[in-house]
Amino acid sequence: MDTSNPFQAPPAQRTRRTRRTRRSAAVGLALVLSTSLLGACGDDGSITLPEFTITSDQLDQLLNDAKAQAETIGADVQSLVDGLGSLPEDKRAQVEEAVTSARTASQDLQAAIDEAATASEDTKAEAEQRVAEARTRLDEASARLQSASDAVESADQAVSSKLDELRTEVDKLSADVEDATS
């Protein structure tokens, strides 16, 4: 019997060769993966991925800033909603939709950043994608705030100014995340 062909070898020999082949393949895959991961690590401890590079200190600062800005946005939203009584119903609805959009987007971004901070190597790309998507929603909320501000400017200048202030906070949060992740 020719034992050089694994399909003609006795079952015990086939099992050993199969295990050895699988083990070799696993070791080779592990080497390739570890090499690619090590290549992504910087000398300063930062991690470089196709999406962005961020050190742990920058991430901590980003988390703290995002939390503070999200709280500021939440307080601004509440203050704004409390002062909408003077607006006509259609304008009030537009403002409420815009400020709700801003609050939700800032909360989503904060949650996505928190998730990215605790993501494993396996889930890091997904977490980074969620940060990018949340940032896009924040930019959309900014556009809604601008539109609402323009719509109510003639009806209530104070509400329009508050919307502009809120939009400035939203834009700052978006810019801070962009700066930290680029």
In the prediction, which pLDDT does 113 show? 82
In terms of residue numbers, what domain contains 150? Answer: 47-181
Are residue 20 and residue 61 in the same domain, yes or no? no
pTM: 0.61
Structure tokens, 20: 């050895």
Are residue 61 and residue 33 in the same domain, yes or no? no
Are residue 56 and residue 111 in the same domain, yes or no? yes
Are residue 24 and residue 79 in the same domain, yes or no? no
CA distance 68 to 53: 22
Are residue 74 and residue 111 in the same domain, yes or no? yes
Specify whether the CB–CB gap between 105 and 58 falls below 8 A. no
Domain CATH for 89: 1.20.120
Specify whether the CB–CB gap between 173 and 106 falls below 8 A. yes
In the prediction, which pLDDT does 145 show? 93
Q: Which helix (H) or strand (E) covers residue 121, if one does?
A: none
In the prediction, which pLDDT does 54 show? 61
In the prediction, which pLDDT does 88 show? 86
What residues of the chain score a pLDDT lower than 50? 5-7, 14, 16-42, 45-50
CA distance 45 to 7: 49
Are residue 32 and residue 53 in the same domain, yes or no? no
In the prediction, which pLDDT does 28 show? 37
